[in-house]
Chains A and B, each alone.
Chain A
Amino acid sequence: MVDLRVDDQTVRENSIGRAAKRVTSFIASLVLTFLGLTAITFLISRLTKIDPVLAIVGDKASQAVYDKTYAVLGLDKPLIIQYGAYLKKLLSGDFGVSVLTSQPVLSDLIHVFPATFELATVATIIGVLIGVPAGVLAAARNGRWQDHVVRVLCLFGYSIPVFWLGLVGLFVFYGKLGWVSGTGRLDIGYDDIVTTRTGILLIDAAIDGEWEIFRNAFSHLILPAGILAYFSLAYVARMTRSFMIDQLGQEYVIAARIKGRSFWGAVWVHAFPNVMVPLITVIGLSYASLLEGAVLTETVFAWPGLGQYITRALFNSDMNAVLGGTILVGTVFIGINLFCDFLYKVFDPRLRGP
């Protein structure tokens, strides 16, 4: 009597081979996409109407000086070589110098990134904590009023402009109700009290024991984070609902009820663990898109993060800064996207087993 289809040894060998293939595929995608991104930013930098030579030598320089600078900048070499040089500089951390701050762009980026990180992370946490149970509820009560409410909320989340909601939020919760603080990360006068360790105000303030500043930072953070959280929630709830509806229709859920599980027991103990893995990739993708949404939200709330840095650079034609920021956001965005794709393939139940 043969008990198993394939013996364990074969199963293990197949798995390792497949895993190695997936990892190499992931790394290859990462590298290629990064090259694609930098190729585009390179081309964009060449498209700019500002003549890079004139920017350095001024428009009163002689033709000889112009030609010499042209050669020094390597502008006479074929595009591919120029791209190679550009890539080399990027990989060594040279993103150019910002026209606005006169600082290396990379150090600017490191300075502003934590604020965006704080905003996106808090927003995602709130979005997931509300969105996942909402999606489960909607799936369990499919077709009834709870489902409709959740679906409408999600629908609005796909239709409302984030910058508009931010403004309306400011008007209602700050202007009219006074429940939260206004724009910026802290009230004026609270700057420079807390020592910058992580760049994340909530953490730094807590470490220093400055609870008044902590509260103030929180009341500044909660509105923009809440607004972004709504968009995260809409996406996460919708995907959770979709996954759960699939699972709740499966026979093993009925089998659980036969064993004596209550309805909600079957939902949370049996169906939910089956969606956790795809859900993690959904959360990752949501986080990546929040980084983008932060660009507009930071403008509305004067939040000194990456988004505001890029838009300010934009208005001042600070191409190095714009492109440096684009590369950073792009790389993080791509990294998260591809990693989630990879995770999903790793845990796809269709690829499991012999």
Chain B
Amino acid sequence: MSDSLLEVQNLNVSFPGRGGITHAVRNASFELGRERLGIVGESGSGKSTMGRALLGLLPQTAIINAQKMNFSGVDLLNCTEAGWQSLRGRRMSMVMQDPKYSLNPVMTVGHQIGETCKLQLGSNAADAKRRSLAMLEAVKIRNPDRVFDLYPHQLSGGMGQRVMIAMMLVAEPDLLIADEPTSALDVTVQNEVLRILDDLVRDRGMGLIFISHNLTVVSSFCDRILVMYGGKIMEECKASELHNAKHPYTRALIAAAPSLDQLRAELATVKRDPEWLK
């Protein structure tokens, strides 16, 4: 495996709230090289929280501690705001779930992509425009010049998500965290966007963390898989070895995915064992 991008050991994230403390992530440990890691879990499993913790974007009230949390040797635990700003966008980036909400409604597409160039690459206006147009082409948008001047509400879901990808990859980061990148899209559009993501990640040799609730998509897209439940990592295995998964939760997830070749009268559900939460 290539040089290690991320090293995480015993990461804990909790949120104090009115009804007590919520432990969103518990003792999570993993490593990531220039490969694709999928994190699968249901709502509330802590996968998105972990993704945001890696970028230092959790709310101020969050309590984060870990034995180790490094990105390419840079300590993320004690990172100052200035430190984060030099990492975010340039070396680590994130694609969020729904472009309806994650793109600024009052700024044009070109302006938003260009902003990353100006912030991270020191581009002037002309250079930013050039790079933005090139990036729009890279995400297979048909009329980059026209889309450049459009506002987010004028874009369809698939286009918006491609704009988001363009915006977050234009500065060529080493690591991309994709938080449910296709969950808000129509099924027909999902595959297109995944293919674009696939090409870009491979061409640039980036590390990728793919967060999703969809085990099928993750297993076909990623090299390794982490299965999360209740804030803990239940299982870690290679995507190709998924059928040999040992943990009962993972096996239940696999069994619950409906398949066209198996005739069944009832869909399988996951029987949760409280033991898993300990």
Residues of A within 8 A of B (CB): 1-5, 11, 250-252, 254-263, 270, 273-274, 349, 352-354
Known: A4-B159, A254-B96, A270-B104. A259 touches B88 (CB 8 A): yes
Q: Using Cβ atoms and an 8 Å threshold, which residues of chain A touch B52?
A: 254
- Which of B149-157, B215-223, B265-273 interfaces with chain A? B149-157
**Chain B residues within an 8 Å CB radius of A274:** 104-106
> B142 and A3: CB pair below 8 A?
yes
| List of B residues within 8 angstroms of A257 by Cβ | 57, 88
CB distance from B55 to the nearest CB of A (A): 6
Q: Interface residues of B, CB < 8 Å — how many?
A: 38
> Contact flags (1/0) for B70-104 with A, using CB distance below 8 Å?
00000000000100011011100110111001111
A-B contact count (CB 8 A): 84
Question: By the criterion CB–CB under 8 Å, are B96 and A3 in contact?
Answer: no
Contact A256 B153 (CB under 8 A): no
Give the nearest-CB partner of B100 in chain A. A251
Query: Are B55 and A4 within 8 A (Cβ)?
Result: no
Q: How far is the CB of B27 from chain A (nearest CB, A)?
A: 26
Q: Which residues of B sit under 8 angstroms from A4, Cβ to Cβ? A: 154-156, 159
The listed residue (B105, B159, B167, B192) touching A259 by CB distance below 8 A is: B167
Find out whether the CB atom of B89 lies under 8 angstroms from the CB atom of A259. Answer: yes
A328 to B93, CA, bound (A): 58
Q: Do residues B94 and A258 form an inter-chain contact, with CB atoms below 8 A?
A: yes
Q: How far is the CA of A270 from the CA of B89 in the complex (A)?
A: 16
B2 contacts partner chain A, Cβ-Cβ < 8 Å:
no
**Interface pair B120/A260, CB less than 8 Å apart:** yes
Q: Is the CB of A250 within 8 A of B89?
A: no
Chain B nearest CB, measured from A86 CB (Å): 47
Smallest CB separation, B48 vs chain A (Å): 11
> A3 and B93: CB pair below 8 A?
no
A-B contact pairs, 24 of them (CB 8 A): A1-B142, A4-B156, A4-B159, A251-B101, A251-B102, A252-B103, A252-B105, A254-B52, A254-B57, A254-B96, A256-B104, A257-B57, A258-B94, A259-B89, A259-B115, A260-B85, A260-B90, A261-B85, A261-B115, A273-B106, A273-B107, A349-B105, A349-B153, A354-B154
B141 at interface by CB-CB < 8 Å: yes
Decide if B89 touches A260 in the complex (CB within 8 Å): yes
The answer to whether B153 and A353 have CB atoms under 8 Å apart is yes
The answer to whether A3 and B103 touch across the interface, beta carbons within 8 angstroms, is: no
CB distance from B204 to the nearest CB of A (A): 17
Q: Is the CB of A3 within 8 A of B120?
A: no
Task: Tell me the minimal C-beta distance from B160 to chain A in angstroms.
Answer: 11
Residue in contact with A258 in the complex, picked from B89, B155, B156, B192, CB distance below 8 Å:
B89
Q: Which of B102, B142, B154, B159 contacts A255 (CB 8 A)?
A: B102
